[in-house]
Amino acid sequence: VRHEKTVLPLKPHQAPDNRDSIAKLLYHQLFTYLVDVINASTAAPSGSARSYIGILDIFGFELFETNSFEQLCINYTNEKLHQLSTQFIFKQEQDEYEREGVPWTLISYADNAAALELIEGRLGVLALLDEECRFPKGTDASLLSKCHETLAAHPLYLRPRQSSAQFGVRHYAGDVMYTIDGFLDKNRDLVRAQIVVAAQQ
């Protein structure tokens, strides 16, 4: 309510998570606003555009000494972009050459469908993560245990030889070991509804 102060007591470990969630929400709102302003100021009148300029900002594949949820999301996005580009550039073009009888030399390319299945599949890492977030007593350790049990047979899933809080994915760009600490909290990324409404004003 306007001119009133609302105090929501949080436990010490909850306050930084809420602060970070609010910062991400504000960043998202600002970024969306800037993209809308840029698009509006550079757009041609409706129906008059004969050509356009497109910008695709691709962030790089990430591999650090310690990799967490953020690196998994970034590397997953890169896997999706890799698949999109290989499907469009290589597979579709070669299929078209085949249909039209155009002479061409077969170009081999890495198919990363198995890596995407491991990450986004029905029983992939992200599905297991979402499932574990729904359990009131779900923890990072219980998520890791489910990943080890469910995905152990997958050819691109890496389990450390020694007991540790990690799992790995054999990406098209290389193997990455992810440290499980914080996965559930980062995936939940809860922002109270009142804050979302206030940020949209």
- Between CA 175 and CA 184, with CA 179 as vertex, the angle to 5 degrees is 125
- For range 60-68, the mean pLDDT: 92
143-186 tens-digit pLDDT: 999 999 999 999 999 999 887 899 999 999 999 999 999 999 88
Under 8 Å CB-to-CB from 90, ≥6 apart: which residues?
Answer: 107, 109
95-137 tens-digit pLDDT: 888 889 888 787 777 789 999 999 999 999 999 999 999 988 9
Q: Are 158 and 170 in contact (CB under 8 A)?
A: yes
Sheet bearing 157-158, strands edge to edge: 157-158, 166-171, 174-179
- Nearest C-alpha neighbor of 93 from the set 104, 77, 78: 104
SS3 144: helix
- Nearest C-alpha neighbor of 154 from the set 132, 136, 133, 128: 128
Rounded Cα distance, 24 and 74, in Å: 16
Mean pLDDT comparison of 11-25, 57-71, 104-118, 125-139, highest-scoring range: 125-139
Rounded Cα distance, 140 and 127, in Å: 14
pLDDT of residue 57: 66
